[in-house]
Amino acid sequence: MKMSLKKPNLLSLVKNINNFYFGEFLSNSCLPFFCQKFQVGLISTSVLSHLINYPDVFTITKESVTLSDTLTSVQERNTALEKVLLDMKSKDTFTALRGWRSECYEIKPKFSAPALFKMERSATPLFGVRQYGVHITGYVRHSSMGLSIWMQRRSSTKQTWPGKLDSFVGGGLSEGLGVLETAVKEAAEEANVPEDLAVGMKAAGSVSFFHQSERGIHPNTEFVFDLELPEKFQPNNNDGEVDDWKLVPVEQVLNIISSQDYKITSSAVALDFLIRHGLVRVEEEPDLPEVVELLHLPLHSLYTRNTSL
């Protein structure tokens, strides 16, 4: 019997994932954020109105926001930014900072370049800086359910997207950790995957998107991995960030990831998996070329401005 994936409008889904790109980015309503002449982010008007209170840290013109050139070293920039963010946090300036993680992301001109500074994870959407993470699709060739993937139910107490269904395993790429190292660590913490099983995951490239939430701007690149799991494997959470687990036949995945019950940015990962495994084909999805493009938005090319300002 031929597998049939009755699905919602996938083009609409990927445009919703990229709602910032199709909204404020194309309307050019944000100012570029520079450091050492490299564009590293985007500043919305709602954030800009607060940055003017820190003239020693930010140089603001009608055309751009620049991390002050008087901050000449990485450590000086780190210290100045942390002071600003802690001040904003103490004043409850932004909802995003209520989710303070005490975990930093390295901010770079491009992924392969040295870091220009680091920034508290919860603050990164406020500055529109590129963020990197890992996502693992755990799948099972089930004897009765057929090809199925594991989904987690995020903890109802998480600061972001509480209670939503999500990828099997996912996490941000924190300061000082490599991509595979992060994936193996997150697999152990979130799903209790033994290291000898986790190291068998297959790298499958990345997805990238330009999303906007109530916390700010998310220009995210997620490194994706496929991990085949034994039918008898049962994930268990070790870090308190997952409430439940659900094994889902692939025939049901598209409807789930298109629903309000699923974390919207993670739907890009699941959709990419289905496309790569031939479960979404151009014969049934005539907009497939555009769908694939919007799962791989060229964020590095969109942040290419280096300036002589």
In 3D, which of 153, 168, 140, 163 has the Cα closest to residue 249?
140
The rounded distance, in Å, linking the Cα atoms of 29 and 39 is: 16
Q: What residues contact residue 161 under an 8 Å CB cut-off, 6+ apart? A: 154, 263
Is 90 exceeded by the pLDDT of residue 213? Answer: yes
The rounded distance, in Å, linking the Cα atoms of 149 and 138 is: 6
Is 80 exceeded by the pLDDT of residue 7? Answer: no
Section 92-117 average pLDDT: 95
Q: What is the DSSP letter of 173?
A: -
Indicate the residue type of 22. F
Please name the helix (run of DSSP H) or strand (run of DSSP E) that holds residue 182, with its range, or none. Answer: helix 179-191
Section 84-107 average pLDDT: 96
The 10s digit of each residue's pLDDT in 217-256 is 999 999 999 999 999 999 999 999 999 999 999 999 999 9
**Which band of pLDDT confidence, cut at 50, 70 and 90, is reported for residue 36?**
very high
Section 118-142 average pLDDT: 97
What is the full DSSP assignment across 84-152?
HHHHHHHTT--GGGGG--S-EEEE-SSTTSPPSEEEEGGGHHHHT--EEEEEEEEEEEETTTEEEEEEE
Is 70 exceeded by the pLDDT of residue 210? Answer: yes
> In terms of pTM, does the model score above 0.85?
yes
**Which band of pLDDT confidence, cut at 50, 70 and 90, is reported for residue 1?**
very low
- Whether the CB-CB separation of 286 and 10 falls below 8 Å is answered with no
